Every structure is written in C-alpha cells, then in structure tokens.
A and B are shown apart, each in its own frame.
Chain A
C-alpha cells in the first residue's frame, strides 16, 4: 500500500470534502479522488459516503482513522530513526587542531555541539605539525581542522575564521623585564636576551609570525627549554625558567597561576582558519561549523552556501583574559 493514501484519507476526513483537502495537501483534486478510490479498492470497503461535495466517513472509514494515524506516526518514527543514523546521531566527528586553538575556540564549540547533538561524539586529534594535520584531513581521518594561517597548499578548503592576539607570559619574579605599569603592553624590544620556554618546531605558524615580529624589532630570545607538551609550558614559566608566548586562553590560566601576563607592543596577531576537504561536509560537520562560526562571532548563514564558497571574516580579536 502506498502509505501516502492514508495521509490523503485523513485529510479528507478532516476537511469533509475533496476540494479543500486537495488544496491543503497541495495535490490536484483528481489525484486525490483517485487515491481515495484506490485505497477503497485496496481495502475492499467503502470509506466515504458522498453527499454532493461533502464526504462523510462510513463506519469502516471511522474505524480506519486511529490505525491510519498510528501507521503514519510509525512512518515518522522510522524516518527519524534513519535520519539520526544517516545524519546527526551516528559515528564520530573527527577534528584535528593546533593545541592553542583547541582551548579557544574549540572547547566552547564542542560544549555547545554536545548540548545540541549529544548523539555524536567528538574526537579531537592533536597533530604534531601542519603536515600531519593536512594528512589527517586529506586522507579523511579528520573531517575538520583548525590551524593558524598560512596553511600549506594541499588542495584543501581554507576558511579564515578570525585572528588571535599573542600574549607574553613571564615568571612571577622581580627579575623579569616587567614594565612599571602592570597593564601596559610589553615592548617586544624589552624581551631581548630574555630566557624563554619555547614550543618545538612543528607548526610553522604562529611560530613564524612571532619570529618575524621578533626579527622586526631585532630581538633575540634565549630558548632554555623546547617542548611539544603545550601544557608543560605554563608550569615551567611559573617555576621561573623563562617566558613564553601564548594565546588568551592560556594567558588567563597563567594570570591565575601568578605569572606576569602582558600584551605585546607592537601587537602580534595570528589569523586562524577552518580547514577541510572540498568534498561535501557531513551533516554533523556542517552543524559543527555553524556552531563554530557562532562562537568566533561569524555569521551562520555563510555556511549554508556550502563548501564551495570561501568564508572571509574581517579580522577580529578574540576574547580578553
């Protein structure tokens, strides 16, 4: 049986005539009449008595109303269950991210995404460098990536999302070159020869952006330790080993841990972007991108254009600590 006929049947019962039922269903009147006749043939009973333009359900017709509603309800349930599996309730959403961007803005986006789509777990990958990030995206192990620009050209779609300010974090002791005014930005020139806990060579950016800013000011810093463990940097700074460069999420932690936290003068900004394959995104990834754009202050309607359109936002500074 074509289940659509049950829907037509219920519409005719509700409207009491074919004309208005047909316009409510947005079907042609003859097709509706045909469908009802076909349903009656199929069931072997007459469902309506016709009085002019008015159709009244027969006893058999009245008896069919509730079961028909249940069948259509079952159909909705079945469709929803399939849609859950196909779309937003099955599998994993795999995201590769630079550690700094993992804290901000990814955490906020994941928390919102989980609230809305609890059925889809999120797996966060921390590649060691840009090459690995590109590989994870290119071979499909990750659907979305977050990285600072520039991203090596590998035929991936790169959508700039915004810009983050780089902060300097210094040990809490008096020998650090801290300016007199606690809230004044730190002149980059004042960092000359200062000991630093450095991240390891891996992601070229924001390392490259920071290196360029130091070169511009003719400043050489003295790396005492290099680490690829993002979380180990702050404890080492607090232990007095040296300073570090970081984004506002980590600067906030550093301030709480008692470190000296300063903006830089001139300021150093790092643009970051969403990276993914040109292939169409899964519904889960599309939903995540919408939330992510919301989090970074973007406009959600830009995503609906699909993977083809590059989304360009004006630079925007992310959250103050």
Chain B
C-alpha cells in the first residue's frame, strides 16, 4: 500500500467528492478514482457510497478515518525524524459546545494566523463518550472538553474554568447581583441537551437546592437559545465567556449562587503529539494563562 492512497482517501472525505478532491489535489479524477479503488480492494470493503452531492463514507470508510489520519500524522513525524520534508501539516481538534466557540474560535483563529502552514479542522461532539472515542481512535488528535473527562486513559491539560450564568430577557431580569438558585423554583428554562456537562451540573445543583424548574426548550446551539430568550420564551444558562456576546444580543446576564464552575482543557492519547499539536497545546496554554485570557 502506498501512503498516497491514504492521503487521497482523506482528501475525498474532506472535499466530499471525487471531482472536488481531484481539483484540490490538482490531479486527474480517473487517477484519483483508480487509487481509491485500489485502496478499497486492499481493505476488502467499499469506503464510499454515492449521495446527492458527492459521496459519503460507508461504515467501513468511517472506521478507516481515524486510523488513516493517525497514520498520516505518524508518517509526517517519521519523515521529520529523519530530516525529510513533511509538507504542510494538519491538526484535528474535537470540541463540545460551547467550548468549540468559547474559547475555540479565538484560540483557533490566533493559532491559524500564527501558523499559516497548519490546516486546522475543528470537529464537534457533544457527548463526553463520543468526544473521547474520536480522540482515542485517532480521528482527532486533541479534544477540547470539560474536565475531568470520565475516560482515564487519556492525558489531560487544564486550560481554564467556565462559570455558568443566567441570561434573562431584558424586561424580565432580576436586580443585579448573584441570583440564588432557590429563586428559580417553578420557573421555565431553556436547557442544554441531556448528557452535556452544563445540563448535568445545573440539574444536580438544582436538586441539591431542592428547586424544581421546567425545561421548555432543549437546544445546545447557543445562538438559538439566545434568540429564544430574546423572544421571551424563558431564561437560559450560558457560560461566563459568552457574557459580552450575550449582552450584545440585548440580554441581561446574572451570576448565580452558589457559583456553578466547570473546568475545561485539552485531552489527548498517551503518545507523542505531532509538531502541529504540540504547537497548538503551547499556544492554548499561553492563551489561557496570558493576557488574552481576559478577552475570551
């Protein structure tokens, strides 16, 4: 097997079709198809099936994705180790919401600006198990998630802490200051999806406080939740990092008592990171502990 077959396979996945991948790789489409067919024969399974706009992965193709990316990273490291040229590198990160945007967006934007030769992909997985699985099978080299991650077989780098705050419609906000959880008794809330760290923390703290609330809409897309609060549907919890953005959309934000804190950080497998990943980790630590942290 030639590494090119693997990189072509990854290109078809990334571009969602043979035509687009061939154009991006600047090769003829028939040679790309031929190469992927050879890989499929080698693997003994079809890797793609046709879809309305291009192709999608089969189950076998999905299973190959993680190991294939890991193989390309290790190959680059091997080339690097012997002083060869490894070409442009890529880093795959998977984050849950809202970490993919806060601090993900600012983190990735500043990193990409400083490392124009590194291609960054920021994937999303909202359940801890799913996120850890993508890191463990090599699909993503780094995971940006709330800590502690329940899977103990992954290494952890702590970056910061999010505090949950309540966002209210402007005409329905309590006076400034911490809102006691008890004050939420009997109210309606817009909640994050079940299985998210924020939902679990809010539910357990409300239970501890003996407070019952009603979730009237469940939506993890934060900007949808903000729109719904603005429309007067109910209040919602947001992380403190989004406070400025939430206020900019016209809402009032209040901290709660007791404070609801969620530490977050990066997770990765216990094995040497690629140069790109090492650079990203260093960048994230500098970002988290440097002066830029306040602007997150």
Contact = CB atoms under 8 A, between A and B. Distances in A.
Partners in one complex: yes
Given A201-B15, A208-B16, A235 B106 contact: yes
Interface string A79-97: 0000000000000100000
A240 B105 CA distance: 12
B168 to A, nearest CB: 16
B169 to A, nearest CB: 11
A123 interface: yes
A200 B121 contact: yes
A241 B113 CA distance: 7
A138 to B, nearest CB: 16
A60 interface: no
Contacts of B112: 224-225, 236, 241
Contacts of B197: none
Contacts of A129: 56
B56 A122 contact: no
Interface string A205-234: 101110110000000100111111111111
Interface residues of B, number: 54
Contacts, number: 165
B101 A107 contact: no
A226 B223 contact: no
Contacts of B216: 114, 118, 121-122
B109 A228 contact: no
A241 B95 CA distance: 19
Contacts of B184: none
Nearest to A223: B119
A287 B14 CA distance: 40
A121 B218 CA distance: 8
B210 interface: no
Nearest to B120: A225
B220 interface: yes
A56 interface: no
A124 B108 contact: no
Contact of A126 (B13, B105, B220, B227): B220
A110 B217 contact: yes
Contacts of A118: 188, 216
B106 A103 contact: no
B154 interface: no
A232 B122 contact: yes
B222 interface: yes
A205 B20 CA distance: 15
A321 to B, nearest CB: 14
Interface size class of chain A, counting residues whose CB lies under 8 Å from the partner chain: 35 or more
A229 B219 contact: no
B44 to A, nearest CB: 23
Contacts of B123: 200, 227-228
B16 A201 contact: yes
B224 interface: yes
B53 A232 contact: no
A130 B55 CA distance: 12
Given A111-B232, A204-B52, A225-B122, A235 B109 contact: yes
Contacts of B193: 123, 125
A239 interface: yes
Contacts of A124: 217-221, 224
A121 B215 contact: yes
A110 B236 CA distance: 15
B37 interface: no
A231 B108 contact: no
A123 B223 CA distance: 15
Contact of A239 (B109, B121, B221, B248): B109
A106 interface: yes
Nearest to A124: B219
Most-contacted residue by chain A among B14, B113, B122, B234 (CB, 10 A): B122
Contacts of B20: 211
A204 B57 CA distance: 12
Interface string A192-206: 000000001100110
Contacts of A125: 193
Interface string B1-40: 0000000000001111100100110000000000000000
Interface of A: 92, 99, 102-103, 106-108, 110-111, 114, 118, 121-126, 128-131, 150-152, 200-201, 204-205, 207-209, 211-212, 220, 223-236, 239-241, 253, 256
16 contacts: A103-B221, A111-B228, A114-B216, A118-B216, A121-B214, A211-B17, A225-B120, A225-B121, A227-B121, A227-B122, A231-B100, A232-B100, A235-B106, A239-B106, A240-B113, A253-B223
Given A232-B104, A236-B108, 8 more contacts: A111-B227, A128-B124, A204-B52, A204-B54, A208-B53, A228-B123, A229-B97, A240-B109
